[in-house]
Chain A
Amino acid sequence: MDYVFTILILIGLFVILASSFDLVIGHCGLISIAHPIFYAIGAYISAMLSKQSGMPVPLSILCGGVGALLASALVAVPALRVSGDYLLIASIGFQLGLIELAKHFHEIGGAGGLTNIPSFLIKDFGRESYVVLVLALAALTVLFIRWLTQGPYGRMMTAMRDDELAFSMLGRNAIWVKVAVFAIGSGIAGIAGGLYAHYFRFLEPDQFGLLQSSAVLTMVVVGGMRTTMGPVIGAIVLQLMPQVITFFNLPPSILGPLQGLLFTGLVLFFMFVRPQGLLPAADLWVGRKQQGDAGQSAKEARS
């Protein structure tokens, strides 16, 4: 049963990661693949705060999210002031650099990993409670992103993705929108990181490298960018697929590269055959109906 719980938790965490990554790369059009590093920052901050200073775990997870949010703004502000393309380079540099740094920092476990991270809920209420928590937070993340992208802020992101110059000429601050969305997406990833840390209770810098970047990217591309359910489906499919492979009892030396191949192969396959993903996004942005629309209907009825 523990195995099933673990899979469910991983699915929940990757739903959070993929949805928040879709907010950044899909809805806002910001090209960055360093999402897992903000997941790592959240995980490490939360783990260290609860382990070293005895901070209550919910609070430390929240601090991890804030830490990831601030760190992402730190990367995004200088990169986006120059040009959007620099974000990709700056964020990958940040990701790989920070991983190397973490490997040499013995206070946070170094390359060997950080162990004995305090657990949360499991001792008192069993693993089921943690599964419920993670899945509830995953659902909340999906709903939050849907709410944000279908409201007036979503209209802004869509326009900015279409044409940044025309967007600025209407009086909208494109850099601020990009930094804000990047930070929100990364902050959510940070919270997922904290949830990861207190369940698995072990963190290793190499977990958060490019392989994980490619996994999250694959989930979004395969599921369908700029859709509410696309990243969810992508996360479920891509999380279950490696589990299926493990049943073949292959040696680890083959299994690892095979999973990498699978992700890359899937991205290539979808890019060529179905670039819109399993769930294609509508090509016209339609916001949710609001109470303010009453004014619209009154006026339209008159005309």
Chain B
Amino acid sequence: MSATLEIRGMCKSFGGIVVADSIDLDLMAGRVLGLIGPNGAGKTSLFNLVCGVVKPDAGSVSLDGRSLEALPTYERARMGLARTWQNLRLFPSLSVMDNLMLGPRAYSADSLMDVFFRPSQIRAHEAEARDRALDILERTGLSPIAHSRVQDISFGQQKLVGVARALMNEARCLLLDEPMAGVEGQTYALIQKAVRDIAASGVAICVVEHNVAFIRDLCDEGVFMFAGKVLARGSVEQLINDPHLTELYFGT
């Protein structure tokens, strides 16, 4: 089976600091890969390189066999790449619902021609997106706060909105950057269930997370990163119990 997302020879350094050192990584459809490593290992940087937020020094990324290299971030997203952010990055001036409404790969008002000359098409598009958003809000338990401002909801709910917004893309590949940081209780279970459901629908998922229990419960496989390098790949259990990696992780 070929990989959904293929990263080959990814290299990036900022001055003398290497954040990616010849990284090769495959994300497979329907599987969840956990990226583990201490702070500064280059996990988020790898996401930024894949999304085109940062330009790599060398290396390539392809999604379903199509190269993403020459594409700006928004076109990568339109091809089916979605992500969440460590620091949320929700739109505070919009309600939860409107945050989601902007998420589909093709947005109703992407073309100004449609805005001015095809209002019925815009309305149909909006209604369709609204139905999808309502469905996702229901599945993630966010329906009661659909019309709230994102500043007025709890941090855990905000994280969930981030995941829900990424789901609007109907992505082929989903990158989750610390979805569990600062999340507890019921929201924890909701995010966990959401990620499981997405994977079951055939999406390739990569999760950066420090919550070991979450990684262990959810990931089919783990990758340990350190100083921009992939040091080990295997089952999460294997990685967690490796004394050498544990030493690198905790710096003891």
Contact = CB atoms under 8 A, between A and B. Distances in A.
- A and B: partners? yes
Interface of A: 148, 151-153, 155-156, 158-159, 161-163, 165-174, 180, 283-287, 290-296, 299-300, 303
Contact of A171 (B78, B91, B101): B78
A20 to B, nearest CB: 16
A137 B139 CA distance: 48
Contact of A174 (B53, B74, B89, B128): B74
Interface of B: 51, 53, 72-75, 77-78, 82-83, 85, 89-95, 98-99, 101-110, 112, 115, 122-128, 130-131, 134, 138, 143, 149, 165, 168-169
A153 B130 CA distance: 15
Contact of A151 (B53, B82, B115): B115
A165 B89 CA distance: 8
Residue from B77, B101, B126 with most neighbouring chain A CB atoms (10 Å): B126
Contacts of A169: 51, 53, 73-74, 77, 82-83, 85, 89
Given A151-B109, A152-B107, A285-B94, A172 B72 contact: no
Given A151-B109, A172-B107, A284 B149 contact: yes
Contacts of B122: 151-152
A300 B104 CA distance: 20
B89 A163 contact: yes
Contacts of B165: 170
22 contacts: A152-B109, A152-B126, A153-B112, A155-B109, A156-B109, A159-B93, A159-B99, A161-B93, A166-B91, A167-B102, A169-B73, A169-B83, A170-B107, A170-B168, A171-B104, A284-B94, A284-B149, A293-B127, A295-B127, A299-B134, A303-B134, A303-B143
A150 to B, nearest CB: 12
Residue from B85, B91, B107, B138 with most neighbouring chain A CB atoms (10 Å): B91
